[in-house]
Amino acid sequence: MNSNKTPVLLGMILAGGISMAAQADVAVFGHLDASLEYFDRDDGTQGDNGVGDDAHFVCTTCSIGFKGSEDLGNGLKAIFKLDFQFDMFNRNGGGFSGSMIDRDQWLGMAGNFGQLRVGTISTVYKSHGAKVDPIYRTALQARDRGLQSNMHTGAGEEGQGRADNTARYDSPSWNGLKLGATYTLDSADTDEDDNPYGVALSYENAGILLFADYLTTDTGDDDEAYKVGGKWTFNNLALMGQYEFDEGLITSKTPGTDGNGADTWFLGGSFTLGNSMVFASYGRADGGDLLSNYSTWTLAGTYSMSKRTKLYAGANSIDCDNQDTNVCKDVGDKGGEDEQFNFGMKHIF
């Protein structure tokens, strides 16, 4: 995206959003996350002396968007969502080609049959991961700190967390039981003949969430991942976790690895008292001929100042066998620790 055109594009988006919001059943929504981050990374090439230390501000998946519906009669609704991500601390930064990039962008239908949507859509695999992460979309979220695999992140047509050129179906709830599925087509400018897809089954009722997910890029090689997980909430206590079985797909998204076997798992628990919540979790990546294994833990706390605004603070440490996996790429080539500390504020509207 040309950075000179970004203010014009943002103005057009906001003007369009205001115009749409004046109509019925259209909402403007957004997410802001401002965090002061300090990290301490071992650098094996210069001795384990904390050469990678730094502090900065980060904005984790800050976004603005529009969503809405139109009643078509006979129990049917047209539904849509247009979501855009930006970095409020780094102008034209945050690893983006411009100041704003698209997130979920879809159009669909909803009714007694459930929902059917087409566009760029988060996979069910990713959606279930978010449900077992009480600090999702903060600087300490599980998918950024190794507790969940990188199948919960990124965008594209090869099993990434946000799938382009995709149709997603979500069934209605049958006494808590739901079915979800995604199917991805190739872009018009590619000659690939593989069509990634995923299926998922979940049950949610009386404080219990259970799910099972399957995802494949359909290349005919070792290209699958599946997981089981869940959450149990009892009064102020919640226990959660998931186990991801790698049949080549997770490995293929991990630079510096060969073969299969990047099984990734975590267990965690949270305790809520009034407006405060504390959360602790531990996870590992293990597997056969994977070049890098690691263990990781997170300890965090939140304080809700209102239904839409909360403060949070916490720490995470990743102990790497060596640097070849995504989460270990910033530590020494013979292994080391990647430690991160955050104090932040999150607001949704």
Tell me the CATH number at 284.
2.40.160.10
Compute mean pLDDT per 10 residues along the chain, 349 residues long, and list them: 47 53 76 92 46 79 94 95 90 58 94 97 96 96 92 89 96 97 80 83 97 91 90 97 92 60 91 98 76 84 97 93 56 66 96
| Number of domain units in the chain | 1
In the Cβ-directed half-sphere of 117, how many Cα atoms lie within 13 Å?
27
* pLDDT at residue number 15: 53
* pLDDT at residue number 186: 78
* pLDDT at residue number 37: 93
* pLDDT at residue number 219: 80
* pLDDT at residue number 17: 52
* pLDDT at residue number 253: 67
| CA separation for the pair 32, 89 (Å, rounded) | 11
* pLDDT at residue number 38: 92
Q: Which residues pair with 12 in a beta bridge?
A: none
Q: In the numeric block, which tokens belong to residue 332?
A: 């020494």
* pLDDT at residue number 70: 94
Task: Tell me which residue range forms the domain holding 89.
Answer: 3-348
How do 294-304 and 276-286 pair as beta strands? antiparallel
* pLDDT at residue number 285: 87
* pLDDT at residue number 222: 76
User: Contact 54/37 with Cβ under 8 angstroms?
Assistant: no
Query: The whole model's pTM is what?
Result: 0.84
